[in-house]
């Protein structure tokens, strides 16, 4: 979706040189990112390698990536990140970043009003790392809570409805954690939570 957005921008007849250069850089970044994720998912049937890492820069970089893709016209959306200084865990950085990116993009898509807010909050508690993504979007009806992680389920016009299903698989099967919808109110917003085991700081 972000690639389509940049391509659409490049089609503008009034595009200045600096904006064109930025668009080309972002397209290149997107293609490289897509290749890295595709490489990880090509081995989706095998156990990916987990390494001890600080999740804070991963969350910050992913949020910055999504923040650059917030629509610049017609909407005002604030993406805020609240993190501790460090957050150690055993994780596959690329797949974990993909899960977080998926949640952030879903949150962005859920905001239909002219103004909205997405908040990412992270903390450590009793040997577990928690990351919550909260939005002020359209919310999810109670009877659909059990369906959102089902493969093929989607409220979007485009896509295969695999994002949340794969995201949950990455967190639960590969990271030994949990991905769940902890709250949602129609017309007010939703909160998703990632929980994975923490790692000891060296």
* Residue pair 79/71 in contact by the 8 Å Cβ criterion: no
pTM value is 0.79
- pLDDT tens for 56-92 read 999 999 999 888 877 655 678 999 999 999 999 999 9
The one-character DSSP state at 14 is: T
| pLDDT bracket for residue 157 (50, 70, 90) | very low
- pLDDT tens for 159-174 read 444 688 889 999 999 9
* DSSP characters over 114-183: SEEEEEEEEEEETTEEEEEEEE-S----GGGTTTTTSTT--SSSSS-S-HHHHHHHIIIIIHS-EEEEEE
């Amino acid at each position: 979706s972000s690639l389509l957005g940049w391509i659409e921008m490049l089609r503008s007849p009034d595009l200045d040189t600096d904006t064109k250069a930025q668009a080309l850089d972002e397209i290149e970044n997107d293609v490289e990112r897509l290749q890295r994720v595709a490489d990880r998912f090509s081995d989706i049937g095998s156990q990916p390698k987990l390494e001890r890492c600080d999740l804070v820069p991963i969350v910050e970089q992913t949020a910055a990536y999504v923040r650059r893709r917030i629509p610049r016209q017609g909407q005002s959306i604030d993406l805020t990140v609240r993190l501790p200084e460090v957050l150690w865990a055993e994780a596959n950085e690329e797949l974990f970043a993909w899960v977080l990116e998926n949640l952030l993009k879903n949150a962005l898509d859920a905001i239909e009003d002219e103004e909205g807010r997405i908040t990412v909050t992270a903390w450590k508690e009793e040997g577990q790392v928690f990351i919550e993504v909260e939005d002020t979007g359209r919310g999810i009806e109670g009877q659909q809570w059990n369906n959102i992680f089902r493969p093929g389920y989607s409220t979007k016009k485009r896509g295969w409805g695999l994002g949340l299903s794969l995201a949950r698989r990455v967190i639960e099967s590969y990271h030994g954690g949990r991905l769940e919808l902890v709250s949602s109110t129609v017309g007010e917003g939703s909160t998703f939570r990632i929980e994975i085991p923490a790692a000891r700081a060296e």
